[in-house]
Amino acid sequence: MRVASVLTIAGSDSGGGAGIQADLRTFAAHGVHGLSAITALTAQHTRGVTAVHTPDTGFLRAQIDACFDDFDIVAVKLGMLANAAVIHTVADALAVHRPRWLVLDPVMIATSGARLLENDALEALRSRLLPMATIVTPNIPEAELLTRLRIDTATRAVSALHALRAAGAAAILLKGGHLAEGDQIVDRLLLTGTDHVTEFTHPRLVLNGHGTGCTLASAIAANLSAGTQLHQAVAQAITYIGVALRGGYRPGHGDVVVLDHCSVARHDQ
């Protein structure tokens, strides 16, 4: 029996906590078949990123085409895209293959603070990929770069959602972890065809999570591939992140916590 597959197009994390590695573990935890096309190789661990290598874009396109040639890809998740050439390559491929669901996690800055998106890539991301995406999932610093707005209050967060809509995004989940709102985190969702902002409020955990953005976007893509409606796909993904974070662990000498992607399955038993 052939099953639907989910493709992640993103960077590899040699430390195993984020990027392609987190995406594939998330897909497995959701019971979907995970595929990958690697856009960048990072040398990193729990204390930072020490080097980044970007493979030839022709090879990247070959990876994407090979996946679409043989698998029924229902959803695609985009993560680290490194530079403008990579973004244009990915956009050209997606324009040909046209997956039903496209989740864009605009990875720009690592947990350690290292910049993961070159300056010339920002406009390419805005013009090529933002309008293609089913949903875009920026955190506050990423949304500030995309909108050129300062986001330091709840009111400005809502304004950023509408600015992203005006820039071509269909639906936006603005993650609120970087916004000071007491002991709660508020993630804000603006769906296609409505001006109503849905708020997801959950406790702020006192830890430095690694790979949360990658995992959240991948969980949304996996939920969409299973036929879940977008609002519910987001809600379920946020719940998944909470459980995976609470079950997280520290595998290295840095202070970052890596998510336990299988903890949800154990939690449900």
pLDDT digits (tens, 9 = 90+) for 150-200: 999 999 999 999 999 999 999 999 998 878 777 888 999 999 889 999 999
What are residue 69's phi and psi, to 5 degrees? -70, -25
Mean pLDDT, range 104-110, rounded to an integer? 83
Query: For the segment 110-166, what is each residue's pLDDT rounded down to a tens digit?
Result: 655 566 677 778 889 999 999 999 999 999 999 998 999 999 999 999 999 999 999
What is the pairing mode between strands 208-210 and 73-78? unpaired
Q: What domains does the chain contain, in order, with CATH numbers?
A: 5-268 (3.40.1190.20)
pLDDT attached to residue 269: 37
Following CA atoms 173, 92, 18, 248 in sequence, which dihedral angle do they give, to the nearest 10 degrees? 40
The total of other beta-carbon atoms located within 10 Å of residue 216's CB is 27
- The SS3 of residue 255 is coil
Check pLDDT > 50 for residue 267: no
Question: Rounded mean pLDDT of 224-241?
Answer: 96
Q: Give the chain's radius of gyration (CA, Å).
A: 17
Could you tell me the two tokens for 212? 């949360």
Do 195 and 220 meet the contact criterion of CB atoms below 8 Å apart? no
Answer whether 55's CB lies under 8 Å from 40's CB: yes
Q: What is the mean pLDDT of residues 59-63?
A: 98
Confidence at 208, pLDDT banded by 50, 70, 90: confident
Q: Which of 203, 199, 200, 213 is nearest to 78 (CA)?
A: 213
* Residue 40 to residue 80: CA distance in whole angstroms: 7
Separation of alpha carbons 42 and 52, rounded Å: 4
Instruction: State how far the Cα of 43 lies from the Cα of 28, in Å rounded to an integer.
Output: 24
